[in-house]
Amino acid sequence: MAGKTLYDKLWDAHLVKQRDDGSALIYIDRHIVHEVTSPQAFEGLRLAGRKPWRVDSILATPDHNVPTTSAERASGVAGIEDAVSRIQVQTLDDNCDEFGVTEFKINDSRQGIVHVVGPETGACLPGMTVVCGDSHTATNGALGALAHGIGTSEVEHVMATQCLVAKKMQNMLIRVDGKLGVGVTPKDVVLAIIAKIGTAGGTGFAMEFGGEVFRAMSMEGRLTVCNMAIEAGARAGMVAVDGITFDYVKGRTYAPKGEQWDLAVAQWKDYVSDADAVFDEIVEIDGSAIEPQVSWGTSPEMVLPVDACVPNPKDESDAVKRNDIERALAYMGLKAGQAIKDIAIDRVFIGSCTNSRIEDMRAAASIVEGRQKAASVIDAIVVPGSGEVKAQAEAEGLDKIFIAAGFEWREPGCSMCLAMNADKLGNGEHCASTSNRNFEGRQGYGGRTHLVSPEMAAAAGVAGHFVDVRTFIDGSAV
Amino acid sequence: MKSFTQLTGVAAPMDRANVDTDMIIPKQFLKSIKRSGFGKNLFDELRYLDEGLPDQSCEGRPLNKDFPLNQSRYQGASVLLSRENFGCGSSREHAPWALDDYGFRCVIAPSYAEIFFNNCFKNGILPIVLNEQVVEQLFAQMYAVEGYQLFVDLETQKVTTPAGESFAFEVDDFRKHCLLNGLDDIDLTLQDVDAINAYEIERKQLSPWMFDVIK
Ligand code: SF4
């Protein structure tokens, strides 16, 4: 019999019941909750007179709607200026109080973006099933967990039953071998993957990231890659467990301790795909050939190496694709065939669940240190992913580096990733953004998003247009 | 979920085709954090003469007197009679929430948009398909008789008029079972409560740290 993939093992370990119609009940170990997709779920429980099945498996924190300026943040929920945002955050507080759910409230030092808080507190662990009413929940798969986003009715279902009704997905392996070049980051790796397989390439698959590049990658880098599995169409992304995983998890607040730790590690070691496991699809990419990436269009697959030129629709023979390119260029205000390095930027956003962990902060700070934001850039905001990241960065003096370079240092939250709070792009503005979606209007009405790594965003903020960050690193930039 | 077995209720008209979910509950009310309380804004743009705002009291808003739900003869209605392709447009589950919150338990129309149709069953509402001639006949009788009531029986799958005339309708067996017993997805899963408990016991022994408390 063929061996099992990591996903097969996670699935089998959580299978409560296989139903006749092909669906199954899957046990959920950890449920992370935020303010946008939970109110109707709590309301549903209330109307039906139900209680959460295991309330101590749930961790909540507000992130999408919280303001990120310290002035607006100072007076907590009451100080949120936008009424709808305030009500959503207040409702999360009320619901968590009523149902007894642990919540890191708006100004709790542990508050942050759900997908940053889960791993860093040890609430999400290897071998777990993790759900959250948010499509970027796959982030947690980096720990060797089965993690994916769910809808509001499923949030209620998991709260009430500790189970999710699911159908088993197919297995896909993305193998990236070789060694990444200097200045090439996990964000560039995942953008290159999406460019190769497309935004629907992973639809219906659980996507495992394997190969030398991921074995050598830090846990934070793996979190960045798994975060964007959904942009490649896969609901779940994951990386096999190894020593890097254990080193990352050990000592975190909710991680097992003492004997329990040893027992856990012994079991977690098995959360790797067997050598003879069969994948339904395998994609191979040469890691040494990946260069710093910049998205130029309105879909995460519209991405190219920084040295490239944006496509010319005339060169595209497929009519549908040609139309897509034309539309994207028009929305983005770009000329066919123009060099990516000639795209001037108006704002910089360093943050989001993709790139707001401490390593991202360090990487961006290393680029701006001793340099200045270009005068043509309206603002460059740095938004740490959580209170813990913020405190750590400040302890290392990173905030001072950013501020000295003319960048703004903010309070933790989703911020300009989706512009539900006051942080938004103006109509027609170009943004070098470390977030994960470049859809039309995502960062503000008419806003133009370019997805890049923290290093590339920082460098663009300094130059006022996209530049190859490698010229900053080797000192060849003027 | 509320069960649906039998219903004797006043019928009210929504006498047009392609009633979309935006008409049923306009988008400004979707920002709500609740799934109850949408009844007062059901058909908001048709029902009131001013523009409806979220979180606004509807007491004292100017009513459109021509709209059936504002007329005394249709007060307390629980059966909504409409035309083809009812519930088209956005997939918002707020549409059945609004109908239910207002008091409608049953819709009768010649056809429905699929997502809306599914959402009704998830929310304890019975959407009945009757052919166009029959629907036409029911409309005519309803307009002719003030306080016109229909008797709907899910068990026997029949709609009966005050004169005793009955019309049979189709319904998927599984959905019928769920509606008759008031079973929603959560209830269905909870039928496997023993399997869930057994899983937990086994897992707790094997991997106790998985059950450490978040606090
Ligand atoms: S940072 Fe952006 S992508 Fe991540 S959870 Fe928040 S809004 Fe969603």
Alpha carbon of B34: minimum distance to chain A alpha carbons (Å):
5
Instruction: Identify which of A137, A381, A436, A437 to mutate to test ligand 1's pocket (most ligand atoms within 8 A of the CB).
Output: A436
Residue B128's CATH number:
3.20.19.10
pLDDT on residue A459: 98
Residue B175 corresponds to which tokens in the numbers above? 């959905």
Instruction: Identify which of A114, A411, A414, A438 to mutate to test ligand 1's pocket (most ligand atoms within 8 A of the CB).
Output: A414
Classified as helix, coil or strand, A450 is strand
Report the distance separating Cα A205 and Cα A280, nearest Å. 9
CB B88 within 8 Å of CB B26: no
Tell me if B212 and A256 make a contact (CB, 8 A cut-off).
yes
Looking at the predicted structure, is the pLDDT value of residue B16 above 70?
Answer: yes
DSSP state for residue B197 in the 8-state scheme: H
List pLDDT tens digits, range A445-471. Answer: 899 999 999 999 999 999 999 999 999
Q: How far is CA B7 from CA B11, B79, B157, B162, B201, in A?
A: 11, 9, 12, 13, 44
- DSSP strands (E only) in A330-388: 347-350, 379-382
Looking at the predicted structure, is the pLDDT value of residue A428 above 80?
Answer: yes
List pLDDT tens digits, range A151-179. Answer: 788 899 999 999 999 989 999 999 999 99
Alpha-helix residue ranges (DSSP H) falling in A253-397? 258-268, 319-332, 358-368, 387-395
Listed range (A81-85, A195-199, A313-317) with the worst mean pLDDT: A81-85
- With CA atoms as reference, report the closest residue to A121 among A59, A41, A69, A175: A59
CB A126 within 8 Å of CB A146: no
Looking at the predicted structure, is the pLDDT value of residue A23 above 90?
Answer: no
Q: How, if at all, do strands B79-82 and B106-109 pair?
A: parallel
A474 CB neighbour count, 10 Å cutoff: 11
* Å from CA of A136 to ligand 1 middle: 7
Q: Which residues of B touch A87 (CB under 8 A)?
A: 33
pLDDT on residue A201: 93
Tell me if A39 and B1 make a contact (CB, 8 A cut-off).
no
Report the distance separating Cα A154 and Cα A131, nearest Å. 9
Report the distance separating Cα B186 and Cα A156, nearest Å. 8
Alpha carbon of A421: minimum distance to chain B alpha carbons (Å):
15
State whether residue B168 sits within 8 Å of chain A by CB: no
Nearest to B196 among A157, A162, A254 (CB): A162
Report the distance separating Cα A383 and Cα A390, nearest Å. 8
Instruction: For chain B, positions 80-139, list CB contacts with chain A under 8 A.
Output: 93, 122
In a domain, B1, yes or no: no
Which residues 6+ apart lie within 8 Å of B22 measured at CB?
B89, B90
| Nearest ligand 1 atom to alpha carbon A115 | 5
Return the amino acid letter for A262: D
- With CA atoms as reference, report the closest residue to A265 among A281, A242, A288: A242
In a domain, B26, yes or no: yes
- With CA atoms as reference, report the closest residue to A174 among A149, A206, A129, A139: A206
CB B68 within 8 Å of CB B74: yes
pLDDT on residue B33: 85
Our count of domains for chain B comes to 1
pLDDT on residue A352: 98
- With CA atoms as reference, report the closest residue to A156 among A28, A39, A60: A39
pLDDT band at residue A478 using 50, 70 and 90 as cut-offs = low
pLDDT band at residue A379 using 50, 70 and 90 as cut-offs = very high
Listed range (A210-214, A447-451, B185-189) with the worst mean pLDDT: B185-189
pLDDT on residue B153: 98
List pLDDT tens digits, range B34-93. Answer: 888 999 999 999 999 998 887 789 999 999 999 999 999 999 999 999 999 999 877 678
Q: How many CB pairs under 8 A join A and B?
A: 85
Residues within 6 Å of ligand 1 by CB: A 63-64, 113-115, 134, 136, 352-353, 414, 417-418, 435-436
CB B33 within 8 Å of CB B93: no
Tell me if B214 and A27 make a contact (CB, 8 A cut-off).
no
Question: For chain B, what is the mean pLDDT?
Answer: 93
Instruction: Identify which of A134, A223, A224, A443 to mutate to test ligand 1's pocket (most ligand atoms within 8 A of the CB).
Output: A134
pLDDT on residue A433: 98
Nearest to A160 among B36, B186, B200 (CB): B186
Which residues are A285's β-sheet partners? Answer: A176
Averaged pLDDT for residues A142-153: 91
Instruction: Identify which of A37, A356, A418, A434 to mutate to test ligand 1's pocket (most ligand atoms within 8 A of the CB).
Output: A418
Report the distance separating Cα A458 and Cα A367, nearest Å. 6
pTM of the model: 0.88
Q: Which residues of A touch B196 (CB under 8 A)?
A: 16, 25, 27, 53, 161-163
Averaged pLDDT for residues A237-243: 98
pLDDT band at residue A385 using 50, 70 and 90 as cut-offs = very high
| Nearest ligand 1 atom to alpha carbon A114 | 5
Tell me if B210 and A128 make a contact (CB, 8 A cut-off).
yes
In a domain, B172, yes or no: yes
**Ligand 1, atom 4: closest residue by C-alpha:** A353
Classified as helix, coil or strand, B9 is strand
pLDDT band at residue A55 using 50, 70 and 90 as cut-offs = very high
pLDDT on residue B152: 98
State whether residue B170 sits within 8 Å of chain A by CB: no
**Ligand 1, atom 2: closest residue by C-alpha:** A417
Domain span at residue B50 reads: 9-182
Query: Is pLDDT larger for residue A26 or for residue B183?
Result: A26
- With CA atoms as reference, report the closest residue to A28 among A117, A121, A207, A154: A154
- DSSP strands (E only) in chain B: 6-14, 79-82, 106-109, 126-129, 149-153, 158-160, 166-168
Averaged pLDDT for residues B158-173: 96
Tell me if A43 and B210 make a contact (CB, 8 A cut-off).
no
In a domain, B97, yes or no: yes
Which residues are A163's β-sheet partners? Answer: A27
* φ/ψ (deg, to 5) at B6: -130, 155
Report the distance separating Cα B128 and Cα B166, nearest Å. 14
Which residues 6+ apart lie within 8 Å of A177 measured at CB?
A211, A212, A213, A284, A286, A287
* Å from CA of A226 to ligand 1 middle: 14
* Å from CA of A476 to ligand 1 middle: 35
List pLDDT tens digits, range A59-78. Answer: 999 999 999 999 999 999 99
Report the distance separating Cα A474 and Cα A169, nearest Å. 44
In a domain, B166, yes or no: yes
Q: How far is CA B5 from CA A25, A338, B106, B152, in A?
A: 29, 66, 11, 8
Q: Tokens 């409230």 identify what position?
A: A105
Looking at the predicted structure, is the pLDDT value of residue A84 above 90?
Answer: no
Give the best residue of A21, A77, A89, A153 to mutate against chain B (max B CB count within 10 A): A153
CB A96 within 8 Å of CB A34: no
pLDDT on residue B144: 97
Report the distance separating Cα A326 and Cα A399, nearest Å. 41
Q: Which residues of A touch B212 (CB under 8 A)?
A: 254, 256
pLDDT on residue B70: 97
In a domain, B117, yes or no: yes
- DSSP strands (E only) in A405-453: 408-409, 430-433, 448-451
Maximum CA extent, chain B: 70
pLDDT on residue B105: 98
Report the distance separating Cα A167 and Cα A73, nearest Å. 42
What is the full DSSP assignment across B145-159?
Answer: STT-EEEEETTTTEE
Classified as helix, coil or strand, A65 is coil
Report the distance separating Cα B28 and Cα B52, nearest Å. 8
In a domain, B21, yes or no: yes
Tell me if B207 and A88 make a contact (CB, 8 A cut-off).
no
In a domain, B171, yes or no: yes
Contacts 24+ apart (CB under 8 A), A219-223: A219/A119, A219/A142, A219/A143, A219/A244, A219/A245, A219/A247, A219/A248, A220/A186, A220/A357, A220/A358, A220/A359, A220/A360, A221/A185, A221/A186, A221/A359, A222/A142, A222/A186, A223/A115, A223/A119, A223/A139, A223/A140, A223/A142, A223/A357
Looking at the predicted structure, is the pLDDT value of residue B157 above 80?
Answer: yes
Alpha carbon of A53: minimum distance to chain B alpha carbons (Å):
10
Return the amino acid letter for A168: K
Residue B57 corresponds to which tokens in the numbers above? 């009291």
CB A132 within 8 Å of CB A114: yes
Averaged pLDDT for residues A21-38: 92
Q: How, if at all, do strands A281-286 and A430-433 pair?
A: unpaired
State whether residue B186 sits within 8 Å of chain A by CB: yes
Report the distance separating Cα A299 and Cα A310, nearest Å. 14
List pLDDT tens digits, range A387-426. Answer: 999 999 999 999 999 999 999 999 999 999 988 777 899 9
- With CA atoms as reference, report the closest residue to B86 among B121, B45, B127: B127
